């Protein structure tokens, strides 16, 4: 699985960090970033939940 | 009732829609449900107090998708409304791209990391306030806890001297609650209107002109206070937001002007004092009336994986914020013709109970997933203090329920609610 955040759309609600802090983190301005596009297998379910949970619909995953 | 009759009833519900008086709260969710079903983009002629210039009328949307569409489109739906006494607040009343520059100055102070550092202090202060409150047999959760907890924390963070706490609360109550059913706000506003020689009428509400004049006067006094505070911190900086703001550079290019500093402090003041207090009051009122839900919360509140989503659900069910936007050009919006300069209101309370987005919208489901609620707003104006608010809500509810897991409404003293950016002015409870 791959994951991307549309930085034009993210407003830093932080839902993704709450759902999966292993993959998503905040930058110094408080917006969400991912360290690597490739999602470790053990975090795939959590990343899928984060995509669903984002109120701004800023997260895109690809399998 | 026939469909025709139901539709006609919805038309008059829309025409009379005004979420600002406290009486609206008696049937607010019924009204939002009716509008959402029959007139999801509705025209109200009564929404008078929405605007400080006294101009009446405006649109209200109640579908989740429509509300999100508006909040995510600041070009067509501007935050430069007329709803501000004296001057617009920064960054709330500013549109991108300038809004983005102001937010870049403010964002680093409100990050998760910054707020996490505050946690030990929040925990300690919450526990102390709870202990003090519970020494009484009958207590007022709002007056004894929900009002002082976030307010004192915010004043400390911002750098407002605690000696001025009572004065600051009076200004806040005048500006926010002159005419919404808040007893202290009304009492202060009435006295001030008499002092100013204004027509006060003999009803429960002040005439609109008197209310506007009193609010503007209180705002002037608040601005003058901020101006002095800014000068003071420029001379002698401390470890607080005012001092940091004075030293901030916009886009790394220039200092903020005195007016910009004052307008920013004004926004922080308005946003920081009431919101968490209101949400806490409404949440605990619900828990006092629903033993099963309260016990369910007490059972999960120490579980770090479950308490976060539970707080989100409580914010969804008790969203308090009404978000007005100014329409910047004539456009067709889901069948309605929006005219330039008209106002459209996005009530987060109504949006967050749309069953198309939230199944069983009126039920508190602590593990609700997904829960894309807009209780903290959406789009570029998303609540700056979101991480502070979440922490305050969690820490306050944990501290209270650890010491007082069972309570009920005090049968002898009723809770007092205010409308608009709704909340409780008083919530008397009994232990057990």
Yes or no, beta carbons of B112 and A26 under 8 Å apart: yes
The CA–CA distances, whole Å, from A18 to A41, B70, B375 equal: 19, 26, 17
**Is residue B179 very low, low, confident or very high in pLDDT (cuts 50, 70, 90)?**
confident
CA-to-CA distance for B32 and B25, rounded, in angstroms? Answer: 11
| A2-62 CATH | 3.30.70.20
Mean pLDDT calculated for residue range B297-321: 97
Say which residue, B4 or B83, is predicted with more confidence.
B4
- Residue A28 pLDDT more than 90? yes
Yes or no, beta carbons of A13 and B376 under 8 Å apart: yes
Q: What is the pLDDT of residues B74-90, one digit of tens each?
A: 999 999 987 778 888 99
- Residue B30 pLDDT more than 60? yes
Mean pLDDT calculated for residue range B220-243: 95
Domains of chain B: 3-431 (1.10.630.10)
Q: What is the pLDDT of residues B330-383, one digit of tens each?
A: 999 999 999 998 999 999 999 999 999 999 999 999 999 999 999 999 999 999
Residue B231's CB: how many other CB atoms inside 10 A? 13
| Long-range own/partner contacts, residues B414-417 (CB < 8 A, 24 or more apart) | B415/B142, B415/B281, B415/B285, B416/B181, B416/B182, B416/B183, B417/B22, B417/B25, B417/B181
Is B233 an 8 Å CB contact of chain A? no
CA-to-CA distance for B337 and B347, rounded, in angstroms? Answer: 20
Mean pLDDT calculated for residue range B313-336: 96
Q: What is the pLDDT of residues B271-281, one digit of tens each?
A: 888 899 999 99
* Tokens describing residue B58: 């405006």
Residues paired with B343 in a beta bridge: B326
Residue B408's CB: how many other CB atoms inside 10 A? 14
Nearest residue on chain A to B115, alpha-carbon basis: A30
What is residue B64's predicted lDDT score, i.e. its pLDDT? Answer: 98
- Smallest Cβ–Cβ distance between A52 and the set B68, B308, B370 belongs to B370
Yes or no: say if B202 and B190 are a contact pair by the CB < 8 Å rule: no
What is residue B55's predicted lDDT score, i.e. its pLDDT? Answer: 58
Place of tokens 């609700």: B368
Yes or no, beta carbons of B369 and A52 under 8 Å apart: yes
Q: Nearest to residue B399, comparing CAs of B144, B109, B113? A: B144
Say which residue, B50 or B39, is predicted with more confidence.
B39
Best of B382, B383, B393 to substitute, by most chain A Cβ atoms within 10 angstroms, is B382
What is residue A35's predicted lDDT score, i.e. its pLDDT? Answer: 85
Could you please report the per-residue DSSP string of B339-369? PTT-EEEEEHHHHTT-TTTSSSTTS--TT-S
**Is residue B48 very low, low, confident or very high in pLDDT (cuts 50, 70, 90)?**
low
**Is residue B309 very low, low, confident or very high in pLDDT (cuts 50, 70, 90)?**
very high
Residue B409 DSSP SS3: strand
How far is Cα of residue B30 from the mean position of the Cα atoms in its chain? 21
- Residue B51 pLDDT more than 60? no
- Smallest Cβ–Cβ distance between A18 and the set B72, B110, B308 belongs to B308
* Tokens describing residue B4: 């025709």
Place of tokens 């520059």: B101
Q: What is the pLDDT of residues B232-258, one digit of tens each?
A: 999 999 999 999 999 999 999 999 999
CA distance B375 to chain A (A): 11
Domain ranges of chain A: 2-62
pTM of the model: 0.95
């Amino acid at each position: 699985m791959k994951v991307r955040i549309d930085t034009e759309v993210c407003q830093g609600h932080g839902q993704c960090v709450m759902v999966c802090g292993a993959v998503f983190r905040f930058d110094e301005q408080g917006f969400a970033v991912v360290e690597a596009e490739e999602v470790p297998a053990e975090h795939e379910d959590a990343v899928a939940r984060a995509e669903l949970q984002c109120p701004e619909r800023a997260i895109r995953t690809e399998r | 009732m026939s469909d025709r009759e139901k539709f006609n009833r919805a038309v008059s519900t829309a025409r009379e829609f005004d979420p600002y008086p406290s009486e609206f709260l008696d049937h607010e969710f019924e009204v939002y449900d009716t509008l959402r079903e029959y007139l999801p983009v509705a025209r109200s002629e009564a929404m008078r107090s929405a605007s400080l210039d006294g101009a009446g009328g405006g649109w209200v949307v109640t579908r989740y998708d429509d509300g999100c569409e508006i909040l995510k489109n600041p070009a067509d739906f501007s935050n430069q409304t007329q709803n501000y006494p004296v001057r617009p607040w920064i960054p709330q009343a500013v549109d991108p791209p300038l809004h983005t520059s102001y937010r870049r100055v403010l964002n680093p102070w409100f990050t998760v990391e910054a707020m996490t550092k505050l946690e030990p202090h929040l925990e300690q202060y919450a526990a102390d306030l709870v202990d003090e409150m519970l020494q009484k047999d009958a207590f007022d959760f709002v007056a004894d806890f929900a009002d002082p907890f976030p307010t004192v924390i915010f004043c400390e963070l911002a750098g407002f001297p605690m000696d001025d706490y009572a004065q600051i609360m009076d200004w806040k109550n005048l500006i926010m609650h002159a005419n919404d059913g808040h007893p202290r706000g009304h009492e202060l506003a009435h006295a001030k209107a008499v002092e100013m020689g204004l027509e006060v009428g003999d009803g429960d509400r002040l005439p609109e002109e008197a209310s506007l004049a009193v609010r503007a006067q209180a705002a002037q006094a608040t601005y003058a206070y901020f101006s002095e505070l800014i000068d003071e911190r420029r001379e002698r900086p401390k470890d607080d937001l005012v001092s940091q703001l004075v030293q901030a550079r916009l886009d790394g290019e220039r200092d903020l002007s005195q007016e910009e500093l004052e307008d920013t402090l004004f926004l922080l003041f308005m946003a920081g004092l009431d919101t968490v207090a209101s949400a806490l009051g409404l949440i605990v009122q619900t828990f006092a009336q629903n033993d099963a839900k309260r016990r369910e919360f007490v059972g999960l509140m120490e579980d770090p994986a479950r308490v976060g989503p539970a707080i989100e659900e409580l914010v969804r069910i008790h969203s308090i914020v009404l978000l007005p936007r100014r329409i910047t050009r004539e456009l067709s919006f889901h069948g309605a013709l929006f005219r330039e300069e008209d106002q459209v209101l996005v009530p987060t309370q109504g949006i967050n109970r749309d069953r198309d987005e939230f199944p069983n919208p009126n039920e508190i489901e602590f593990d609700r997933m997904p829960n894309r609620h807009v209780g903290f707003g959406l789009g570029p104006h998303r609540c700056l203090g979101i991480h502070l608010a979440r922490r305050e809500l969690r820490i306050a509810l944990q501290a209270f329920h650890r010491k007082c897991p069972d309570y009920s409404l005090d049968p002898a003293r009723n809770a007092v609610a205010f409308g608009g950016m709704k909340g409780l002015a008083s919530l008397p409870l009994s232990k057990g």
